[in-house]
Structure 1
Amino acid sequence: MRVPLRQAARATVHLFLAAIMAFGAYIFITVLLITATGAVAVVGIWLVPETVLLIRRIAGAKRRLTASWTGRDIPEAYRPVTGTVRERVLMAVKDPGTLTDGRWLLAYYGYGWLTVLMLPLWPVGLVVDGVWSGLLRRQAVVLPLIVKLADVEARWSTALLRPSPQALLARRVEQLTATRADAVAAHGAELRRIERDLHDGAQARLVALSMRIGLAQRAYGADPDAARKLLSDAQAQAEEALTELRHVVRGIHPPILTDRGLAGAVRALAASSGLRVAVQDDGVADGPRAPAAVEAAAYFVIAEALTNTAKYSGSEHAEVLLARSRRGLSVRVRDEGCGGADESAGSGLLGMRRRVAALDGTVRVSSPVGGPTVVEVELPCVW
């Protein structure tokens, strides 16, 4: 009885909340009538997009309620409603998501009554089942019915609230457009950084090297000691220029990634970060490696996160987790510092998001004031 009772309790809560939503939907009919009257009278046409946005919120709440019972998220696919009144009305009316939500709301006025009418019978059913199974040692009858009813209600809601293929395609196109824009911006910023590093570092040292070699050539016959001193300085300049070039190359793709793989490169990065970093590898070093672009993105995300920890957090300890996931590579960086990370304050989080977005990945940052700061990254790839 323990498992059926637990399931029935969850089903009862789900149906109870569904009944409350059904009552709210019936009250919402008044808003729909006011909007329709205003639209017909033209003067209230501005109510149309606002009503559509309200319906989106109601449908979103229903999606979350259904997902809590089924354990499977129902995706949303809406176009933004912005601009002038005319543009907002056209966007709201032409959005395929509006048709999906309207169809669900209309159907919910029908099958929503089922949860409302059954609401008074659930407590009675639980008591009857308890007496039936307790005294007569028989299997419960009403409890499976309650669970079945919750399943049916969730199945109907899932089918009606699932976005159409056209809406999903439109949302995907918008995501790819935004991702491409971020990738172009990240690429431009990377090119400017490389140009700046070459101009301010290696190029300046190479110019100084050329000048010293020229001075050494002029002084070689008249003052060999001075020429040797200039050549010695030129050699030092050449070594510094090579160091600068290696730094630029590491910024493009760290050679250590090729040599040691992601796990080994991250451990080397942690050792040189000036922090006490605990690196945990959950299967990344075993088996096939991720694509080079994915490894590079993960490496730079970790490097940026550890740099932020050293600069801003006030913590001397950090944790790095590398793990294989169903979608690809998961990265998690955590510190127990002061928190309060702000993307607009130049902490590098925006660049991190752009680099990950270019690979169709996701970044989640949790940094409440007082800490901890947690950066979680998902990079899709095929292992």
Structure 2
Amino acid sequence: MRTTVRQAGRATAHLLVAAAMAFGMYLFITVLLITAVGTLAVIGAWLLPETVLLVRRIAGAKRRLTTAWTGREIPEAYRSIDGPLTERLRTAVRDPGTRTDLRWMLAYYGYGALIVLALPLWPLGLVVDGVGCGLLHRRAVVLPWIERLADLEARWSTALLRPSPRALLAARVEQLTATRADAVAAHGAELRRIERDLHDGAQARLVSLSMRIGLAKRAYDRDPDAARKLLDDAQEQAEEALAELRDVVRGIHPPILSDRGLTGAVRALAAGWGSPRSGEPERGGGLRVTVDVDGLADEGPRAPAAVEAAGYFVVAEALTNVAKHSGSPTAAVRLVRTMRGLRVVVGDEGRGGVDESAGSGLLGVRRRVAALDGTVRVSSPAGGPTMIEVELPCVW
């Protein structure tokens, strides 16, 4: 009986919120009328997209309420309302999600009233003290009925708020368009970085190397010692140019990924953070990094090369952020093979408060992951800790 009462309590809370929302919807009719009149009068046309955005927020709140009761998420599928007014108006009117929300809103005016009328049955089921078997029996009947009413309300809301296949397709097309634009932008930025690194680094050193070899050839007969000194300098220039070329190649696709796979490459990367490197004080050597691997065997099937490269880039960028900004002496990396792909998690116990707009490198991470249809979640409250979790879909 306690379980029944507890469930009935949850159902009552759900129905009370639903009833309050239904009451608010009746008040919202005024907003809809003002928007309709303003749009027809043209002068208030700007109200239409703003009202549609408000309706989306109301429908979103109802989706979350229904999801909390049923445990099944109701997806959203909307087109972005932005740009000039004409474009905003066109999107607000043509978006299938708008029609879905308005259909739910109109239906809610009807079955929301039924919820309000049914709520008085709940106190009736709680009267049990010394009245006899009649009310006890009535209580046993009324309590499950309240729960069934909540189930019915949730089913109606789910059916009405679920996006149509056309809306889901339109939202998916818009998402892929944005993802493609980000991928193109990221690719262009990467090409510019490679060009800049080659021009300012390796190319400049190779030009200097050529000049020193030419000077050494001229001085070889009349001043062998000077020629030898120039050749020594040229050798140093060649080694530095080779090192910079390796860095450029490593930025495109780290060779260690091909040799050792993602697990070995990440472990080598983590070990590299364990001790300072001469000439690289900005790298923040001394960061202790632990690597935990779940389901990725060294000899087992590997993820596609693009997924491994993205995972490696995520770890490298996250560890750089930890060393530069977090103040944490330790970091933890976790690689997990899932049924849908690869999960990469990087966490630290630093100061937190990550600001993605302040050049933390997370924009590049998001673009690279979005190009593979993956997701990025960042949790970094002020005071820490910080956790970056990336999901990269792939077929093993």
TM-score by length of 1: 0.90
Q: Work out the CA distance in 2 between the residues paired with 1:173 and 1:48.
A: 24
2:388 aligned counterpart, secondary structure: strand
Contact 1:130 1:140 in 2 (8 A): no
Instruction: Give 1:373 shift.
Output: 2.0
Q: Assess, with a 3 A threshold, how the Cα gap between structure 1 residues 227 and 43 changes in structure 2: closer, same or farther.
A: closer
Counterparts in 2 of 1:232 and 1:151: CA distance versus 1, 3 Å: same
Q: How many residues align?
A: 383
User: How far, CA to CA, are the matches of 1:131 and 1:241 in structure 2?
Assistant: 94
Q: Measure how far apart 1:239 and its partner are.
A: 2.1
Q: 1:88 to 1:130 in 2, by over 3 A?
A: farther
Q: Which residue of 2 aligns with 1:276?
A: 288
- 8 Å Cα contact 2:124/2:139 also seen in 1: no
Alpha-carbon distance between aligned partners in 2 of 1:93 and 1:363, rounded to the nearest angstrom: 32
**Is the CA contact 1:92–1:98 (under 8 Å) kept in the aligned structure 2?**
yes
Q: Deviations over 1:82-128 (max 9, x none)?
A: 44554433332222111101111111122222321221112322556
Corresponding residue number in structure 2 for 1:201:
201
The counterpart of 2:380, out of the listed 358, 362, 367, is 367
Local SS of the residue matching 2:125: helix
Q: Counterpart in 2 of 1:218?
A: 218
Letter in 2 for 1:327: R
1:20-51 deviation line (CA, Å, top 9, x unaligned):
11111122223333333444455444433333
Letter in structure 1 aligned against 2:35: T
Aligned partner letter, 2:251: G
Cα separation, 2, equivalents of 1:146 and 1:43? 48
In 2, the alpha carbon distance for the partners of 1:378 and 1:132 equals 59
Unpaired stretches in structure 2, ≥5 consecutive residues: 274-284
Question: Sequence identity of aligned pairs in percent?
Answer: 78
Structure-2 residue corresponding to 1:119? 119
Structure 2 distance, partners of 1:258, 1:131, is 79
Q: Name 1:308's counterpart in structure 2.
A: 321
Return 5+ residue gaps in structure 1 as ranges: none
Q: Deviations over 1:252-278 (max 9, x none)?
A: 111111222212211211121231112
- Matched ranges for 1:219-258 at <5 A: 219-258=219-258
Aligned to 1:35: 35
The 3 A distance-change label for structure 1 pair 124 and 278 is farther
Moved more, 173-182 or 212-221: 212-221
Q: Answer yes or no: is the 8 Å Cα contact 1:129–1:141 preserved in 2.
A: no
The match for 2:261 is: 261
CA contact (8 A) 1:129 1:143 kept: no
* Rounded Cα–Cα distance in structure 2 between residues aligned with 1:37 and 1:215: 84
2:331 counterpart SS class: strand
Tell me if the contact between 1:361 and 1:378 (Cα under 8 Å) persists in the aligned partners: yes
Cα 1:130–1:97 change in 2 (3 A) is farther
Rounded Cα–Cα distance in structure 1 between residues aligned with 2:266 and 2:169: 37
Q: How does 1:298-337 map to 2 (within 5 A)?
A: 298-337=311-350
Equivalent position of 1:342 in the other structure: 355
8 A Cα contact 2:8 2:146, kept in partner: yes
Q: 1:192 to 1:87 in 2, by over 3 A?
A: closer
Indicate conservation of the 8 Å contact 2:127/2:139, yes or no.
no
Contact 2:121 2:142 in 1 (8 A): no
Task: Kindly provide the amino acid, as one letter, of the partner of residue 95 in structure 2.
Answer: D
Question: Cα 1:25–1:267, aligned 2, differ >3 Å: closer, same or farther?
Answer: same
Quick check: 1:181 aligned with 2:194?
no
CA contact (8 A) 1:129 1:142 kept: no
Following TM superposition, by how much is the alpha carbon of 1:326 offset from its aligned partner in structure 2, in angstroms? 3.9
d(CA) in 1 for partners of 2:211 and 2:129?
Answer: 96
